[in-house]
Amino acid sequence: MFRLLIVVSIHVRNFLRRYMPTNVLADAIRARRGMKWGPAVMLLAVPYFAAAVWLAGLIDQGAPGWLHLLVLLTIWNGFKMLWLGPASVAWLTRARLREAGARRRAAASRRP
């Protein structure tokens, strides 16, 4: 039973990681080429939070209660987009420092 739960959770995680738009975008931002787009991705948090407010308004007006799940999902994705901005700046800074160090070491090893 425990093994079945683990296998199912692994498959669900792989599916969500591969096909959900915010996860695909997060993976692209974590790549070296995409790190520079992190601050721009923070702007995507605004539509997510706006959608959460709109859905909450619909729920208050009598929409079905299952929309609370969508409110949670949009809030989660909004915070995910907010987090990617500062994190990608830190990742980019760290990558550039490593690259500069590698260039310095390569130049030092070429000198006689």
Question: What is the pLDDT, as a whole number, of residue 110?
Answer: 85
pTM of full prediction above 0.85: no
Judged by DSSP in three states, 1 sits in: coil
Question: What is the pLDDT, as a whole number, of residue 1?
Answer: 86
**C-alpha separations of 51 from 11, 23, 42, 70, 99 in Å:** 29, 18, 15, 9, 40
List, for the chain, all residue ranges whose pLDDT scores fall below the cut of 50. Answer: none
3-state secondary structure 34-89: HHHHHHHHHHHHHHHHHHHHHHHHHHHCCCCCCHHHHHHHHHHHHHHHHHHHHHHH
